[in-house]
Every structure is written in C-alpha cells, then in structure tokens.
Amino acid sequence: MQLSARISRISLGVACLATAFAGALVSTSSSADATTASTGDVPTFREFEASTYVDVDGAYVVNGDEALATKAELKKFYDRMVSTPDTRNDGLIVNTVGGVDDKWSASQALNLTYCVSTRFGTRHDDIVAAMAAGAGLWEGATSKVNFVYVPAQDAKCTTRNNSILFSVEPVSTTQYIARSFFPSTPKRSRNVLVDDSIWTSGIWEPGDILGHELGHVLGFRHEHTRPEAGTCFEDNNWRPLTPYDAASIMHYPQCNGSSADLEFQASDAAGVRALYGA
C-alpha cells in the first residue's frame, strides 16, 4: 500500500560510500541529516565519526545496521574503508577481519543462544515468533547452525547477561528498523536492537527483517556491497561464498535489488552451507 512511498523514502536515506560513509540503510526515515559529506570527497576520520550514529549502548552504527563497540574499532573500520579498494568479481558474502572469515566455531554455531527482552511488553511474544521465523530460514538450510532461544533469561536480557550469546532488545529510533552485529563483535555490543517500526514495514515481514539481522549474526555482509550492485558500496572486507544475487535476503531492495520483499533465497541457503557446512 504505502510501500512505494516508503521505499523511495528509504532510498533517500541511503547514503553510500560515494557520498558518505554512514547510512541508515534499514531505515524508515531519511538519514541525510546524519551525514555530512556531500561532495564525494573522502571525509576525515573526525568528520566520519561526527556523522556516525551512536546507539543507546554507545555503539557506533555503520553500514545501516551494524554495530561497532568502540572508537578504536570505528577507526579501524574507517581505515579499511579509505584504503585502496581491490576489485572482486566473484548471493552471499562473509565478513572478513584481517583477511580471515568472521564466523562462529562449529560448536558455537550449533548453540547460538539468545534471549528476548521482556521490555518488548505486549509485543514480546510477537518478537519471539519473528526471531524463530528468522532463525528458521538459516536453520532450514543447514544442520550446522542452530539458534537457541533461552526464555529463562528474558527478564535480564542485556549484553551484560553472560548466560546467553546475545540479547534481543527493544530500541526507539528513527535510524533503522533493526540492527545487528558480527561474530567478531565483543560481547558488550552483541545485541539485536529492534524498533517498533518492524510492525509497520510493509511487505518486509518481521521474520524476514530479523532473518536479515541474523544473517549478520552469522557473519554475512550486505550483498549490495558487491560491485555488481553498482551502488551502496561499503568496503571490500569480505569473501564471496556464492555468485552475486540481487535478490539475496542480505541485499537491500533499494540498492538496485531485484526483489522488493527481502525474502530468503536459494543463494542464501547455498551461502550458509558454504560457510558452515550442510
């Protein structure tokens, strides 16, 4: 219904590398005010830091919905971004840190425990269901990945709870619908934050939105950073697992995607099997 208007609003909010580093890619509002560089020049670190959204937990949010815990990590991220890009022509790509795949160990991948904060209130059970749906997309593709919901930890569901690998918590922001983390993210920033707009995101179903975020949790990058997308480039710190797929659940529709609805694809299934096994 209001999807086309919404998509164009999102498109306005997309800030890709060519114009600025910080962008609210999964967002219901324009991030133009959150970015300062408009000339196409590479911003200084100071400018980059000033334009980067800082979350409730003090984490820096980059690439739309990915958290960095500290200023030092933001600096490393910036340094990687401004380093001379190499070209890779080879639907799923895994994040790399120092050239090494950013993934969970085989045993940890089978026990990705999480809680869902009771602070979601009347929406708590809906989030539990959407998380199960999102996790099920990846779990259905491989027997080597298993997300484990631990409801006993819901009442104290924060990054400080060491009984779970990560927490799912509510947030109130206009910067994104939800944001996530990578396997290399330190425990203190390992949470999936979800804004209420997840319930009013048109044909982006809550389970698919959280499926996208859980893709990051597994180590997958935005598919649209690949050169084939022709837009929304982020950086080259990734390794291809499958051929490019413009319809991947990790590809934002508004970044020249071929699918508007953020559905899980066969290429996503092939990618998770390529990284973790079948």
**Rule CB under 5 A: which residues touch Zn ion?**
65
| b/e code 122-141 from CB counts within 10 Å (16+ = b) | ebbeebbebbebbbebbbeb
Least distance in Å: CB of 212 to Zn ion? 6
CA distance readout (Å), 268 to 75, 219, 253: 31, 12, 15
Nearer to Zn ion, 141 or 192 (CB): 192
Nearer to Zn ion, 6 or 154 (CB): 6
Q: Nearest 5°: CA angle at 136, between 67 and 229?
A: 55
Q: Which residue is nearest to Zn ion (CB)?
A: 65
Least distance in Å: CB of 64 to Zn ion? 6
Least distance in Å: CB of 253 to Zn ion? 12
Nearer to Zn ion, 43 or 64 (CB): 64
Least distance in Å: CB of 43 to Zn ion? 22
In order, the DSSP letters of 178-208 are EEB--TTS-GGG-EEEE-GGGGG-TTS-HHH
Nearer to Zn ion, 14 or 154 (CB): 14
Residue 142 CA to residue 242 CA, distance in Å, equals: 15
Least distance in Å: CB of 135 to Zn ion? 16
Where helices occur in 111-191 by DSSP H, the ranges are 124-139
In order, the DSSP letters of 61-108 are EETTTEEE-SHHHHHHHHHHHHSPPPP-----EEEEETTEE----HHH
Nearer to Zn ion, 65 or 169 (CB): 65
Residues 6 or more apart whose Cβ sits within 8 Å of residue 125: none
* Residue pair 27/34 in contact by the 8 Å Cβ criterion: no
Least distance in Å: CB of 273 to Zn ion? 21
Task: Categorise residue 40: left if φ over 0, alpha if ψ from -120 to 50, beta otherwise.
Answer: left
Nearer to Zn ion, 73 or 154 (CB): 73
Least distance in Å: CB of 19 to Zn ion? 19
Nearer to Zn ion, 47 or 205 (CB): 205
